[in-house]
Structure 1
Amino acid sequence: MSLYLTPLNPHLKEIRILHLQPLTSGPSIRCSTSTVSLLSQPSPSYEALSYVWGDASIQQEIQFDGAPFPVTRNLFTALQHLRLPDQERRLWVDALCINQKDIKERNEQVAMMGEIYVYARPVLIFLGEADEGSNEAFNLISRVSEEGEIEDNVSRKLFSFYMNLVEREWFTRLWTVQELVLASQDPMVGCGFSWISWSVLLRVWQRVALREFGEMEMVISSEESDEGNESEELSGRRPNGIKIDLLSNLRKAVTEKKGEELRDLLLNTVSCKATEPRDRIYGLLGMLVEGHRNDITVDYSRPLGQVYAEAITHIFRRGIGPFLLSGMELAGPTPSDSSFPSWVPMFGSRTLPSPTKFHPPGVGASGAGSGADNGRVDEDIQTLRVRGMPIDTVLEKIEFGEGLACLTQLSAVEALVSKARQLATENKHHRLYLNSFKSKEPVWRTLIANKAYSGAAREVAPESYGEMYQRLRDNPDIGWNSDENPARKYILALMNHLPGSCFFISTTGFYGISQGTLEVGDHLAIWFGAPAPFALRPKAQVQDESGELKYAVCGVAYVAGIMDGEMVDEIYCEDLEDDMLFIVH
C-alpha cells in the first residue's frame, strides 16, 4: 500500500524520505519511503536531490513501495547513478516524496521547500550522464584546485568544458537555483559517476575565467561592473560572468543577508525556465527574507494572474513597485488570461525585460521622485493606486517595421515631429510651463532613448550621433553593414530601439517612442519611482466610487525633453501642479 495514503502533517513539518536500495538488492531500482519531521531532534539525516525533471511523456519504471511506478527518464538516470554498492541511501526527491496529485500536500510541501534543502546533508546536484571529456575534466578540476599554477593547455581545456557545462539543462531551470542557493553544506555536483564539490567547481572556474577572459581582454574590473545599474539588472545581463558566477553571487547574498528581496530574485531568475508558470513565484519563496515568506501563500489551484498579482503586491509593499513594472512586459489592457490585471508582468515571456530599452541613461523621468515609496494594491489584488503626473494624450503614431525596414521611415518621423512643433505653438497657453520641454531634445536622441550603442545602458549618446543621423536622413539607402560607414554606430543604436516600437506625438506637441502596443487616445503619465513614463488607456470612461477615471496600463514610453526628471523637478516640486492618483486595473 502506498504511503501516499498517509497524509503528511504540515504543523509537524513532516516530509517523506526515500530509501534507495543498494546495488546488491538487484538490477532494478527499488525504493520505499518513511515519514520524518524536520522539527525532530536530532534533525533527520538525508541528502536532497537537485535535478531536472525532463520530458514527462518519456518515462521508465521503478519499484516504489513494492509496486511498479513510472518516473521520468531523467530521474531514472539519476537514481541509477546514486545507488550505493552495498548500503541504502536516504534521499529527498520531490517527484517521489511529494504526492504530486494531491494539490493540498503539494502546496504545503512547496511552502517548506526552503527548509527541506537547508536541512539536507548535503544537496546532490545531478547534471546528467557523463559525456565525452566530463570525467577527465572533473579529474583535472580536482587536481588544479590543489595546485598553484594552471598550464595553458589545461586552462583552455577547462574553459571549454565549463562553457559547455553551463549549457546543460540544470543551469537553465528555476527550481535548481533555490536548491543550490539554500544548501547549508557545500553541495556536491555530479556528471555520471564523477562528483566534485560546488566550492571546488566554482574556485577553479574563477581561476580559469580570469586567465582566459584576460587573454581575450574581456575581464571587467569592479569599477566597470554594473553594480547599482538597475536598468541592466532588469534586463538580466551580467557582462562579467556566466551562470556559475550568478548562482554563486546569489548564494552568497542569500547566506549573508539571511534571504533576498523578491524583486531581486525575480530579476536574477528572469531567464530561467519553469514548466509550471506559478513556480516563477513559488520557486523563489525559500530564498526570500525570512520575515517576508508568509506574505505569499502557495496555492497551485489559484489562477495564474492572481499568483503573479500577489507577488507584485508584496513588492509594492516594499516600496519598489513602479521601477520594477517600468522594466517588464505587462499583461496590458487585453491579456490572454483574464485573471491578469493589466499592471502585472508576464513572467516567462521571452520579451519580459524588453521595456528597459525605453529607460533613459540617467535618473529618469521621476527626477526627485526616483526613490519614491509609491503605490499600493487594494485587497482585491486587482486595483493598483499609484501617484504621479499626467503628461498628455497620444494623438498620432507610426509603427516601425522589423529589421532594416524601420530605417526607411525616418522621413515620416520628421513629418510627425514638424506636426508636433506646430501643435506646441498652437497650444502654447495650455500648461504654459511645459512649452520649454517640448523643443528641448532633438529627434535623433529620442529615437535611441539617448543611449550610446555600447551595451552600457548608462552611457549617454554622443553628439556625433546627430551628424550620423543627418547622413542617414540624407541617404537612407546607405550601406550600414560596413565598418567604414560613418553612420554605422547610430544605425546599430536605431536597430536596438525601433523594430517593433512606435513613434508618437501628443495633442499638445510632445513626441517620443514607445512599445508597439501604444494606441491613439492613450494617456501618458509619470509614476513617481519609475524611470520612464507609462502609457495608460482609459477604461471606457469607467469611474470608481469617488468618480475618478480608471485605467489599464499598456507599457512604458520615452518622451522627449522630460526624461531627466525636468518635468517633476520644475513643475511638481515647484508647486505649479499637484500630483494625481492613477487607479489602474
Structure 2
Amino acid sequence: MPRCQPLTPQTRSWSGRMTRLFDRLRARLSSRSGSKAERKQLSVPMNPNETTAVQASQPSAPDSGGSSRTQGFHYDPLPQNTLHIRLLSLVSLDGEHPSFVLDAVRLDEAPPYVALSYCWGDPTPRETILVNGVPLKITSNLMQALRSVYRAVTRNDAPSLWHKNERVLLWADAISINQADIPEKNAQVPMMSEIYKRARGALGYVGSPAEGEDPGRAIEAMAELSNTSVGNDPATNQHNPSSGGSAFSDGGASFRRFWSSPWFTRCWVTQEAVLSKVMICLYGNEDRHITVPLDTLGVLIHQVQLPGPYRNREALAAAARGANSHTAMQAYAWCQMRTTLGENPQGINLVKTLRLTRKAQASDSRDKLFSLLGLIETADRAALSPTVDYSVSNTSDRVFLALAQHCATSAKNCMAMLALAGSHTASTSLPTWVPDWTTEPCASLDIRLYRASGTTSFADAQIRLSANGRELILRALTADKISALGPAVTYPDFTIPEMNVGLEGMLIVVEQAAFLFASQVQERFNRLPGPGTIEDVVMRTVTAGLGLGDRRSLPADRVFYDAFCAHYPRDGSEPPWVSRGEQGPDYHPFATLASHANAGRRVFTTVAGQIGLAPGDAQAGDWVTLVPGSHLPFILRNVGGNKFKLVGHCYVEGAMDGEIIERFRLLLEEANLPGASVMNMFKEVVLV
C-alpha cells in the first residue's frame, strides 16, 4: 500500500474497537442465501393516492448512479418554491419486471430514507422496471444494485439503515433526478450535501464477486493482511473462507477483485461516503452478500500501512501482485475526510479536498468540482456554486479555470494549487498554472513536511491575475538550472501484474541513476548534494525525503534502503540467501515510499550540483524556482522575457528547508552590498 496520512487520535480509537467490530462482522459474513420464506414476494401496499405516473430520464448528473433512458416518458416538474426530492419505494421484486413507486417530497419533511450509492457500469439500458406502473429501462448495474439492496432488506441486514418490516425508501440519483431537464440538474446538484446529510445513511453497492466465490473472502483477506487478531478469537470464527485456511489461498484474486471495483473510483461516491451519517458497503448479489461499514475498512487499511515485521509477507506479496491499491487509498481518504468534517463542520479545505480525490473518475469531468461542493468550506462553496451549470457552453476547461482563478484570490490556496498544476495536461487550452483535474502528472508530495522557501511569507509572493484572467503574476527566484535528467517513471497499472514487477525494476534503475548523479556531484564539487553519506543522499532523493509514518526521513529508515540494495546489488550478483531459499531482509517500506515519490517523476541534477526529483516532462535548461510562502520548489520553463510555463513542483535534496534562501543571504552578506536583501532577488514572473 502507498503511504498516506495517519488517522487522527479520534480515528485511531477505531483500532481499539476492532475485536467488537469483527464480532459483529463475522456474524454476518456467512452466506445469506435466504430461506424460501425470505425469497417470497416483498411487497409494500401502494397508497391509492400514489398513482401519478413518473417517467424515465437520462442518467442523472452524479455518475455514482446507474442510468435510465427516455422512451417517450416524462417527469412531472418538481415544485420551484421549496426544495423537493424524489424517493423510490419497492412494490414487488417478483414477476418479469420489479415494480416501484416514485414520490416527490419536501426535503425538510421527507420520511426516513437511505441514499443508494453505486456506479454506472455498462451505460446501455438493458433492464426494465416498472415505476408507478410505467416501464422504465435502466442499466444492468442499477438493476443488480436494487435487487441486492432489497434482498438485504428481507434478511434484515444493515439494521442501522432500516428497521424490520419498515417501508424502505431510497434516493437513487439516476431515477430521482431528471437529467433531461438541465435547470433541474443545476438546482439538484447543489442540494446533494443536504440530501446525504438528511438521509438515515448511505448504502454503497460495491459489486459482485466471481461466480461461486464467497463474498466474505475479500474482507477476511483484509483482516489477515492487517494482522488483526480475529482469527485467534473462537467467538469470531463463525465464518472461514470456503476453501479453508488462508484467505489468500487463491493467490489474492478475491482481494484484488474487491478493490478493483469501479465503485471506489467514482468522484460522486466521495460526497456520499463523507457526508452520510453512516456508509455501509454491500458486496455480493441477491443470493449471497456481505455488508461492512466503510469505517471498518478504513481501520483495516490503516493497519496494513503500519510498518513492522508482524505482517504476513506472503499475503502482502499476493495482495500487491496486480492489486489496484489506489482504490483502497481512495476509501481511506474518505475515512480521513469523514473525521476532518466531524472535527470541522464548516467544511474541508478546498485544495486538500481536490488533492485527496485527484484520482477519482467522472463521466462528466465538470463533476470533478461539482461533486465536492458539499464538502468544502462555506465561503468557497458559496463562491463556486454558481459554476454548477451542465449546459454545453460551460466546458470543463471553463470550470477548471474559474476554480483556479478563485484559488488565486487566496495566497495559501494558490500555493497549494500550484503544487497540483503543471504543463502535463490533457487540455491544450488551459494555462499551465491551472490544474487539469482529469489527470495527475505526478504523485503529490505532502506540502506540510517541507519549507523550501524558508521564512518567506505568502504576502511576499504578491499574487495577482492578468486582466484577461489567464495569466498568474507573482514574484519568484529562479535559483538553479537543470543540467541532466534520468529515466522517467510512469504511473503503473496495478491491475496488471507485469506492470508491478516492471515498477520494481524501474526503481532499481532510478536508484542507480541517483547514485551516479550524486557521485558526479561529489567528484566535480568535492561535496555531496546533501548531508550524510552518499547512500543517505540517494535514499532521501529517491523517496523525496519521506519517511515512514507521515514524516521526513530519519537515519533509522536506512535499514530498509540497505535491504533494498542487498536484494538488488549494483553489480547484478545474486543475494546470498537466494541459494539457501530464504527471503532476506524486508525492503518493502523503502520500495513503497520510492514508488510513490517517483510516480510521474525523474531524477535530475542541476548546474549548481544539486539532485532531486522533477516532473516527468522536465527538460535540461528548466529553472528550479522558489516562490515566497511556497513549501515546495517549482520547475519553470522560460518562454520569452519574464513569461514562464509551470512544469510542476519538485524535490531538491538538501534544499527543502530554506537552505537556498540562506545560501543567497550569506552570499549577500559577504558581498556587503548596501540595502541588498534576498527578497530583492525575487523578480516578477508571469505564468502562462
Given the two structures, how large is their TM-score scaled by the length of structure 1?
0.71
Which one of 18, 25, 29 corresponds to residue 98 of structure 2? 29
Residue of structure 2 in register with 1:226 after alignment: none
Residue of structure 2 in register with 1:57 after alignment: 124
Which one of 616, 632, 644 corresponds to residue 516 of structure 1? 616
Residue of structure 2 in register with 1:177 after alignment: 270
| Paired letter, 1:170 | W
Residue of structure 2 in register with 1:285 after alignment: 373
SS in 2 for 1:369: coil
Mean Cα deviation higher: 208-217 or 289-298: 208-217
Shift of 1:97: 1.7
Shift of 1:82: 4.4
Unaligned runs of 5+ in 2: 1-52, 56-72, 155-164, 220-229, 249-253, 313-324, 490-505, 579-583, 670-676
TM alignment of 1:60-99, pairs within 5 A:
60-64=127-131, 66-83=133-150, 89-99=168-178
* Distance verdict in 2 for CA 1:112–1:10, change over 3 Å: farther
Mean Cα deviation higher: 204-213 or 94-103: 204-213
| Paired letter, 1:278 | R
Shift of 1:56: 0.8
Cα-to-partner distance string for 1:501-552 (whole Å, 9 max, x where unaligned) = 142333x6666542232223323210223333111122333xxxxxxx2221
| Paired letter, 1:566 | E
Does residue 86 of structure 2 align to residue 16 of structure 1?
yes
Contact map agreement 1:181 1:247 (CA 8 A) in 2: yes
* Distance verdict in 2 for CA 1:248–1:150, change over 3 Å: farther
Which one of 431, 443, 446 corresponds to residue 354 of structure 1? 443
Shift of 1:115: 1.2
Which one of 388, 397, 412 corresponds to residue 476 of structure 2? 388
Cα-to-partner distance string for 1:304-348 (whole Å, 9 max, x where unaligned) = 2332333344444454335534653x340x743123221233435
Shift of 1:73: 0.8
| Paired letter, 1:14 | H
| Paired letter, 1:118 | K
SS in 1 for 2:128: strand
SS in 2 for 1:365: coil
For 2:100 and 2:556, the matched residues in 1 are separated by 69
Does residue 180 of structure 2 align to residue 101 of structure 1?
yes
For 1:80 and 1:490, the matched residues in 2 are separated by 43
Cα-to-partner distance string for 1:376-419 (whole Å, 9 max, x where unaligned) = 5567553223333221344x323336624556657974796489
Contact map agreement 2:193 2:275 (CA 8 A) in 1: yes
| Paired letter, 2:646 | V
For 1:310 and 1:182, the matched residues in 2 are separated by 25
- CA-atom RMSD in angstroms: 5.1
Shift of 1:133: 3.8
Residue of structure 2 in register with 1:505 after alignment: 606
SS in 1 for 2:480: strand
Residue of structure 2 in register with 1:254 after alignment: 341
Residue of structure 2 in register with 1:154 after alignment: 237
Shift of 1:93: 1.2
Does residue 212 of structure 2 align to residue 111 of structure 1?
no
SS in 2 for 1:286: coil
For 1:112 and 1:361, the matched residues in 2 are separated by 33
TM alignment of 1:396-407, pairs within 5 A:
396-400=483-487, 403=506, 404-406=508-510
TM alignment of 1:55-454, pairs within 5 A:
55-57=122-124, 59-64=126-131, 66-83=133-150, 89-129=168-208, 132-134=213-215, 150-151=233-234, 154=237, 157=240, 168-184=261-277, 186-191=278-283, 192=285, 202=295, 217=310, 246-258=333-345, 259-296=347-384, 297-300=387-390, 301=392, 302-321=394-413, 324-325=416-417, 327-328=419-420, 330-332=421-423, 335-349=425-439, 351-354=440-443, 356=445, 363-369=450-456, 375-377=463-465, 380-394=468-482, 396-400=483-487, 403=506, 404-406=508-510, 413=517, 417=521, 421=525, 447-450=538-541, 451=543
| Paired letter, 2:237 | V
For 2:216 and 2:540, the matched residues in 1 are separated by 49
Residue of structure 1 in register with 2:42 after alignment: none
* Distance verdict in 2 for CA 1:517–1:197, change over 3 Å: closer
For 1:557 and 1:137, the matched residues in 2 are separated by 38
SS in 2 for 1:287: coil
Cα-to-partner distance string for 1:31-50 (whole Å, 9 max, x where unaligned) = 353433325xx345543212
For 1:263 and 1:126, the matched residues in 2 are separated by 28
For 1:558 and 1:208, the matched residues in 2 are separated by 28
* Distance verdict in 2 for CA 1:421–1:218, change over 3 Å: same
SS in 1 for 2:264: helix
Shift of 1:60: 1.6
Shift of 1:293: 1.3
For 1:463 and 1:88, the matched residues in 2 are separated by 58
* Distance verdict in 2 for CA 1:256–1:135, change over 3 Å: same
Unaligned runs of 5+ in 1: 139-146, 220-236, 423-435, 542-548
| Paired letter, 2:351 | R
Shift of 1:122: 4.0
Mean Cα deviation higher: 374-383 or 150-159: 150-159
SS in 2 for 1:382: coil
Contact map agreement 1:370 1:531 (CA 8 A) in 2: no
| Paired letter, 2:659 | E
Contact map agreement 1:172 1:272 (CA 8 A) in 2: yes
Contact map agreement 1:440 1:560 (CA 8 A) in 2: no
Shift of 1:253: 2.5
Q: Tell me the number of residue pairs that the alignment of Structure 1 and Structure 2 aligns.
A: 522
Contact map agreement 1:277 1:348 (CA 8 A) in 2: yes
For 1:118 and 1:361, the matched residues in 2 are separated by 31
Residue of structure 2 in register with 1:582 after alignment: 685
Given the two structures, how large is their TM-score scaled by the length of structure 2?
0.61
For 2:77 and 2:128, the matched residues in 1 are separated by 24
| Paired letter, 2:92 | P
* Distance verdict in 2 for CA 1:419–1:134, change over 3 Å: closer
Residue of structure 2 in register with 1:433 after alignment: none
SS in 2 for 1:367: coil
Shift of 1:70: 2.1
Contact map agreement 2:528 2:534 (CA 8 A) in 1: no
SS in 2 for 1:272: coil
For 1:324 and 1:32, the matched residues in 2 are separated by 47
Shift of 1:254: 1.6
Contact map agreement 1:48 1:122 (CA 8 A) in 2: yes
Residue of structure 2 in register with 1:479 after alignment: 573
